[in-house]
Amino acid sequence: MTGLTGSAVLQNNGGDPLSITVNGSFSFEMPIAAGSRYSVTVKTQPSGQTCTVSNGSGTAGTSDVTDVVLECVTNAQTLGGTVSGLNGSMVLQYNAGHPQTITANGVFAFAMPVAEGSPYDVTVRTQPTNETCTVAHASGIVAAAGVTGVAVTCIANAYTVGGSISGLAGTVVLQNNGADTQSIGTDGSFTFPTPVQQGSSYSVTVATQPAGETCSVANGSGPMGAARVTSVAVVCAVNTRTIGGTVAGLTGTVVLQDNGADSQTLGADGGFTFATPLAQGGTYSVTVQTQPAAQTCTVSNGAGPVGNADINNVSVTCSTNAYTVGGTVSGLNGTVTLQNNGANSTPIGTNGSFTFSTPIAEGSPYDSTVQAQPTAQTCTVSNGSGIVGGSNVTNLAVTCVTNTTTITVDSTGVIPVNGASGSVTVTNTGTTYAALNVSATLPGGWTGVTQDSSNCTMIMPNGGTCTLTFISTTPYVAEGNITVGGDNIASPPTTAVAFSIDGYLVFGVPSGSSALIVASSDASASLVWSPAYNNIPGITEISMAPPCNGDSDGACDTGQIVALYGTPYSNYAAGLCDEITSDNSGAVVVGTWYLPSMCEMGASGQGAACGAGIANIDSNLVQLGFITLSATYYWSSTEYSGIPTGEGAWAQHFASAGASTQGAFLKNDQLSVRCVRAISY
């Protein structure tokens, strides 16, 4: 075996394999018989080599066969690949030798084959002019199929473009040749990542300016030479903008300022611009430093950030100072209408502060007056005129007083129950003002009474009159001190009101369906109490039922008297009342009318010790002025308990002003008689 560099496997007669790793002699392990055939072949070639057999077959003789020769030689393979981008001529080599000149793109192979299994390293020995070629897959071990994957790529020579930036306060975006963008946020050097081919041009521009700045480029363009460019200079400066706007309505001189400084004095309407520009991205704030005399100027659109353009929309509007005029109203009872400077009418309906709606220019006059007086009142204005200063006028004083008058009213009035209306006449005794909205204040319990005061809304002065009318569905005990007043009545007078049924005055209302009435005239001016001096049981002022409450139940007393004396009824007081058979209502039953008891005639404290609260003629009619009983004394139906047979009966004396009295008289004395009865309604 000669030339072996690896490992080969031999065989004899297709078997008896023998692995050989070194050159020299070899022998198969299995002998063959003399005269037998032998045939030595290569079962497995060594890697990267081819071994050939000489004298490898024949017939064995009488001695060992030792002349078989195996010669191994290394396999030679091609080494090559492809070239692209070549624009000229270059020289490649492998393993630092075997130069090969390449002049065209495409497939190439080295002229000198390379031993299979040996290493290779392809490099560029000589670059083409203005190009740089690089080798990919340049090294490795030569395989049995050769090497065809070496890739040589040639590109024109290219160099980076860069320089320095200064003054930058934000972020600027640069571009080279309209592409190859570079974002930069700080001062210093910069380099675009993409080189530019030698001989081509470069052009550096600002794609995006930094906020509030403008960057400019120097040395930014030219042809690319044989070295990188580092001389591009980018210089950035802050943008500045002017601040201004317009003034309108100015009549004097106003001083404006921006950001608390940079004062600007203006004396006329029109445009203005502050002298000092502001950096873009900063802020501005325009204010009034000094107002013009008697004017107030206000600023709109006066503050904000400084953008990328001049600010020219600041609006300063000046108007003459105006102040309100007002004050207080007191004593008002109605609605007064005020006006200022002959206009701006202002109705006011309550006491307290007020303000005219229209302001008055500073330095102008004001004159506040009463345009329309309230009903039944007169209002006067104090501090009503002057010149408006630099503040609101609040010291006007409107004082209202009522235009009072005096009235008189009928002393009494009678209301027929379920009949025609009753009335009282009211007279205006004043000489200047009408009496307004006059009416009577009726007792709260008189719910059945309806008052009509519609023709008393205005009673003219100097004796003008009106009538208050009343209707009622039920009687009430007469009352005095019923006030008649109105909106402007000084010292309202009083009247007394009583009720009548069938023309008879009511002096008591014992139930919800009956009333006590008194006859309109005396039954007799002179008549004895009884025809004899009999003592009639149970009708004295101290008697209690049965049979009678002698002091207050005249109907019972009368019945007792009539039962004793009988006819002729006209001979004694009780009989005279008992025999009445007709009255204003028509025919009545005998005994309907009766002689009133002592306490139905007079009130407590007059002699007969009447109890308080008993309805009686004296309190409810005589003292209120509805009836005058002029006789000296009137018989009652009550006997005197002290001497019932002799000085035996009570009588009533009626006098005004509370001077009525009660006394006991002989039953044969001649006294007056006034009858009463109960009546349903």
pLDDT of residue 646: 58
Distance CA 379, CA 427 (A): 27
261-269 own/partner pairs: CB under 8 Å, 24+ apart:
263/289, 266/316
Please measure the distance between the N-terminal and C-terminal CA atoms of the chain and give it in whole angstroms: 170
pLDDT(645) > 70? no
70 SS3 class: strand
Q: Mind listing the pLDDT tens digit for each residue in 17-28?
A: 999 999 999 999
pLDDT at 437 over 90: yes
Mean pLDDT of 627-650: 87
- Does the pLDDT at position 568 exceed 80? yes
CA angle, residues 393, 397, 401, in degrees to nearest 5: 160
Q: In what order do the strands lie in the sheet with 106-109?
A: 106-109, 79-84, 147-156, 131-136
- Cα–Cα nearest to 18, from 33, 7, 32, 2: 7
Confidence of residue 111 (pLDDT cuts 50, 70, 90): confident
d(CA 286, CA 304): 9
pLDDT digits (tens, 9 = 90+) for 145-168: 889 999 999 988 888 899 999 999
Coil vs helix vs strand at 621? helix
pLDDT band at 112, cuts 50/70/90? confident
Percent of the chain whose predicted confidence (pLDDT) is above 70: 99
3-state secondary structure of 24: coil
Q: What was the pLDDT predicted at 130?
A: 86
C-alpha distances out from residue 45 to 5, 6, 8, 67, 145, Å = 11, 9, 5, 20, 15
Over 80: is that where the pLDDT of 571 sits? yes
Residue 78 φ then ψ, to 5°: -75, 150
Residue 131 has pLDDT above 90, yes or no: no
Cα dist from 538 to 70, 542, 544, 558, whole Å: 188, 8, 7, 11
pLDDT (average), residues 263-275: 95
Q: How many CB atoms lie within 10 A of CB 365?
A: 11
The phi and psi torsions of 432 (rounded to 5 degrees) equal -120, -50
| Rg, the chain, Cα only | 72
* Residue 147 contacts residue 108 (beta carbons within 8 Å): no
Q: What is the mean pLDDT of residues 216-231?
A: 92
Q: What is the mean pLDDT of residues 509-515?
A: 94
Q: What is the pLDDT of residue 199?
A: 84
What is the per-residue pLDDT across 13-57, written as a single tens digit (0 to 9) for each? 999 899 999 999 999 999 999 999 999 999 998 988 888 999 999
User: What token pair was written down for 57?
Assistant: 């077959």
Q: Which of 478, 649, 477 shows the shortest CA–CA distance to 551?
A: 649
Q: Which pLDDT belongs to residue 74?
A: 81
pLDDT score for 535: 86
Q: Compute how many other C-beta atoms are within 10 angstroms of the C-beta atom of residue 136.
A: 12
What is the structure's pLDDT at 647? 64
Largest CA-CA distance found in the chain, in angstroms, rounded: 218
- Distance, in Å, from the CA atom of 202 to the CA atom of 223, rounded to the nearest integer, reads 6
Which helix (H) or strand (E) segment holds residue 313: the answer is strand 311-320
- Structure-token pair, residue 210: 């930094």
464: which residues sit within 8 A by CB, 6+ positions away?
Answer: 427, 428, 434, 435
DSSP summary character for residue 602: S
Q: Tell me, what's the pLDDT at 49? A: 85
Query: Which tokens hold the place of 302?
Result: 């006066």
At residue 644, does pLDDT exceed 80? no
User: φ and ψ at 557, to 5 degrees?
Assistant: -60, -45
Phi, psi of 318 (to 5 degrees): -110, 135
Question: The tokens of 322 are what?
Answer: 């105006």
Sorting pLDDT into bands at 50, 70 and 90, what band is 353?
very high
pLDDT for position 599 = 97
> Over 90: is that where the pLDDT of 86 sits?
yes
pLDDT tens figures, 396-429 = 999 999 899 999 999 999 999 998 999 999 999 9
> For 560, phi and psi rounded to 5 degrees?
-65, -40
Per-residue pLDDT, averaged over 284-308, amounts to 94
Average confidence (pLDDT) over 119-134: 92
Mean pLDDT of the chain: 93
What pLDDT shows up at residue 331? Answer: 92
Token pair of 590 as six digits: 């005998």
Residue type, 191: T
